Structure 1
Amino acid sequence: MDGSDGSQLFEDTSGCSSKTSQQRNQASGPQSAGFPGQSVLSDPVSNLAMAYGSSLATQGKEMMDRNLDRFIPISKLKYYFAVDTLYVGKKLGLLVFPYMHENWEVSYQRDTPVAPRFDLNAPDLYIPAMGFITYVLVAGLALGTQNRSFSLIGPEKAKMAKQKRQQQQFSPELLGVQASSALVWLIMEVLAVLLSLYLVTVNTDLTTIDLLAFSGYKYVGMIVGVVAGLIFGRPAYYLSLLWCCAAIFVFMTRTLRLKLLSEAAAAEGRLVKGARNQLRMYLTMSIAAAQPVFMFWLTYHLIT
């Protein structure tokens, strides 16, 4: 019972297990030293399939980039966003105070326009894009202020004001409505200008992106007018908006005049005279005059 007879209750299999594991390792040989799937990758058919799949993926990427660049010119968009802080500050000052600026011609280098950060007269999309976003946020702030201002007046006037503005009370959905409304008006404006240029047959290098940039500059004046109205009241809104409307009219007139009249005259020589020249001048003035109209239309309801 005390184990003196030499019998063991359990066999010592440690030696056996070590020998068995060594035999298994020796039997596995070089396969265990490799990685999983090595036998599959060594198959020529698998290598051919992987090469064919990689080729298809490369061709698909090239086709997608080519078609995407056809509808959305990514390479051209990089030019319109090539700005820096100094350019943005000067361009904002030019949009508000364009009266002292003299040279409005766009600089070229080897028949290619210089990047906006090197030329103040070059159009960009950074200021219009940031102006559009800021306008939507300021509009939301103005609508929220209108909703809260009912408690600052008498009870009877507050009741009448609530009934009058029941359809205009602030909600988060109004930001989307305001943004979509401004975007639709912007697209309609650009399409109308493109149609007018086609009907008048103006020879110019103005692109759709250029027109989008020029049309988007009016958001700067709209923001100035709304902010002034929120801080100082409706009279400040009218005065500041009037100043910004006059400034954008001067800016658009002097900018588009070089694009529509000078380039057409250079392309057609002395033939650009009389009625056709006057028609191009009227078109330039109409595009410039449309900016104050849109500025007032998109901001007058934001000031109480």
Structure 2
Amino acid sequence: MYDNIGPQTGVPRPPNTQPNPFGNSFYGASSGFIRGGLGAYGEKILGSSSEYVQSNISRYFSDPQYYFQVNDQYVKNKLKVVLFPFLHRGHWTRITEPVGGRLSYKPPIYDINAPDLYIPLMAFGTYVVLSGLSLGLHGKFSPEAVNWLFAKGVVGWTFQVTLLKMTLFSLGSGEAPLLDIVAYAGYTFTGLSLAILGKLFWRFTYYFMLPWTCLCMGIFLVKTMKRVLFAEVRTYDSSRHHYLLLFIALAQFPLLIWLGNISLNWLF
């Protein structure tokens, strides 16, 4: 019927409406397969990918808010552990709790062995201020000098983080969260700030307090690395383990001596 209509009538030719016995069934089956099969497969891929990303992010980069859950009692007790680690009679392992079907570490406010970033950041700022004050007493203070001391402290902190991180890698595990290592390395500036403060009052105090600070920091890191971070190491070699711990402890002496030498030179 429609084939007899010429183009002059202006009536569009309708599409071929020849029935397709497989059309509806094929469309229904294909759409069901897409919605059911591919959809479920896609959700599985996306779900596993998001879980993988979240697990790796939490493994290497923990929630920064976790490291600032502190109070006055924690700060006081933590300073005692860092400055007098040999007097710490309790255990050095962190406390876990079930959260969302998995074990998670308790925040610092509930666990003295948990790392925090409040004390390291405050100690680092104190180190820069006291170092600038020391330069001022010797007539060498300037804004450029403060910038230099800040950069020197950042370099020292970075070196400490690298030292701890490479130690874990050498033992077959680098899965400890980066912010954990940054926090442990930052405790270096607590005793260092006290040594510089003592130097401001009496010059010779510094030569007694700095070796003490190096020794205490070495003990603290050895205890921490041995009881906390090495728990995630998959391979264990006792001789290698002890040599690396000894190396970490000995490395505190040249590092803190370099940081404690308040001058505008890199080496002296």
- Please tell me whether residue 131 in structure 1 is matched to residue 145 in structure 2: no
Higher-Rg structure is 1
Distance (whole Å) between structure 2 residues aligned to residue 299 and residue 217 of structure 1: 14
> Identity, % of aligned pairs?
31
Distance (whole Å) between structure 2 residues aligned to residue 139 and residue 87 of structure 1: 27
Gaps of 5+ in 1: 1-65, 148-168
Q: What is residue 142 of structure 1 aligned with on the other side?
A: 134
Distance (whole Å) between structure 2 residues aligned to residue 193 and residue 115 of structure 1: 22
Q: What is residue 106 of structure 1 aligned with on the other side?
A: 94
Q: Quick one: structure 1 residues 256 and 70, their matched pair in 2 at CA, closer, same or farther if it must change by over 3 Å?
A: closer
Deviations 1:243-283 (A, max 9, x none): 2222111111111111354443xx55xxx3xxx32212222
Look up the SS of the partner of 2:208 in the other structure.
Answer: helix
Distance (whole Å) between structure 2 residues aligned to residue 190 and residue 258 of structure 1: 18
Equivalent of residue 193 in structure 1, options 149, 164, 171:
164
Report the Cα offset of residue 293 of structure 1. 2.2
Look up the SS of the partner of 1:289 in the other structure.
Answer: helix
Check conservation: 1:261, 1:280, Cα contact below 8 A.
Answer: no
Q: What is residue 290 of structure 1 aligned with on the other side?
A: 251
Q: What is residue 209 of structure 2 aligned with on the other side?
A: 240
Q: Quick one: structure 1 residues 227 and 254, their matched pair in 2 at CA, closer, same or farther if it must change by over 3 Å?
A: same
Q: What is residue 238 of structure 2 aligned with on the other side?
A: 277
TM-align CA RMSD: 2.6
Letter in 2 for 1:283: L
Letter in 1 for 2:96: Y
Query: Higher helix share goes to which structure?
Result: 1
Distance (whole Å) between structure 2 residues aligned to residue 250 and residue 223 of structure 1: 18
Q: Which moved more, 1:287-296 or 1:212-221?
A: 287-296
Gaps of 5+ in 2: 1-52, 264-268
Deviations 1:24-71 (A, max 9, x none): xxxxxxxxxxxxxxxxxxxxxxxxxxxxxxxxxxxxxxxxxx9xx969
Look up the SS of the partner of 2:135 in the other structure.
Answer: helix
Distance (whole Å) between structure 1 residues aligned to residue 92 and residue 79 of structure 2: 15
Q: What is residue 83 of structure 2 aligned with on the other side?
A: 96
Matches within 5 A, 1:1-304: 76-102=63-89, 103-110=91-98, 111-147=103-139, 169-202=140-173, 205-233=175-203, 235-264=204-233, 267=234, 272=236, 276-301=237-262
Letter in 2 for 1:206: A
Distance (whole Å) between structure 1 residues aligned to residue 261 and residue 155 of structure 2: 18
Check conservation: 1:107, 1:113, Cα contact below 8 A.
Answer: yes
Check conservation: 2:108, 2:115, Cα contact below 8 A.
Answer: yes
Look up the SS of the partner of 1:109 in the other structure.
Answer: strand
Q: What is residue 17 of structure 2 aligned with on the other side?
A: none
Look up the SS of the partner of 2:115 in the other structure.
Answer: coil
Check conservation: 2:61, 2:179, Cα contact below 8 A.
Answer: no
Look up the SS of the partner of 1:301 in the other structure.
Answer: coil
Q: Quick one: structure 1 residues 301 and 240, their matched pair in 2 at CA, closer, same or farther if it must change by over 3 Å?
A: same
> Which one has more relative contact order, counting CA pairs under 8 Å at least 6 apart?
2
- TM-score scaled by structure 1? 0.61
Check conservation: 2:96, 2:105, Cα contact below 8 A.
Answer: yes
Look up the SS of the partner of 1:106 in the other structure.
Answer: coil
Check conservation: 2:83, 2:216, Cα contact below 8 A.
Answer: yes
Look up the SS of the partner of 1:112 in the other structure.
Answer: strand
Q: What is residue 165 of structure 1 aligned with on the other side?
A: none
Check conservation: 2:156, 2:259, Cα contact below 8 A.
Answer: no
Q: Quick one: structure 1 residues 260 and 117, their matched pair in 2 at CA, closer, same or farther if it must change by over 3 Å?
A: closer
Q: What is residue 32 of structure 1 aligned with on the other side?
A: none
Check conservation: 1:260, 1:280, Cα contact below 8 A.
Answer: no
